[in-house]
Amino acid sequence: MSGESLQLWLSILVLIMTVANLVYTWFNIRHKATKENINDLTDVTNSLVRRVSILEDRSRTAPTHDDLGKLYEKVNSFGGKLENLSGTLEAIKGQLALINEHLINGGNR
């Protein structure tokens, strides 16, 4: 083998190794990027699973339509009792005004 043919085969070998390195690097970068994307999506998915789990727990303990109906009935009942109490206090106020007037006038009208 002469020096020129050796140089030719060495150049071909370097070219083949460069192409092999290029292909290896390209596949490796693609795999790394895909793996990072999958890890990012896994993190997002885990976060969403936790958030949905919290919402489901809260919805289980939330008051139902029947519970709210009972609460509204009690509030309405309480409002009626307050109106009754207000009327009673107005009557007492009128009686106290009459008593004060009687005491101020010294028993004479």
Q: Could you report the per-residue pLDDT of 8-39, keeping only the tens digit for each?
A: 889 999 999 999 999 998 888 887 778 888 88
**Using the 8-state DSSP alphabet, how is residue 105 labeled?**
T
Q: Could you report the per-residue pLDDT of 60-75, keeping only the tens digit for each?
A: 888 888 999 999 999 9
pLDDT classification of 50: cutoffs 50, 70, 90: very high
What pLDDT does 107 receive?
67
Instruction: Compute the distance between CA of residue 43 and CA of residue 102 in angstroms, rounded to an integer.
Output: 83
Query: Locate tokens 């793996």: which residue?
Result: 35
**What is the model's pTM?**
0.41
Q: Which residues contact 50 (CB under 8 A, 6 or more apart)?
A: none
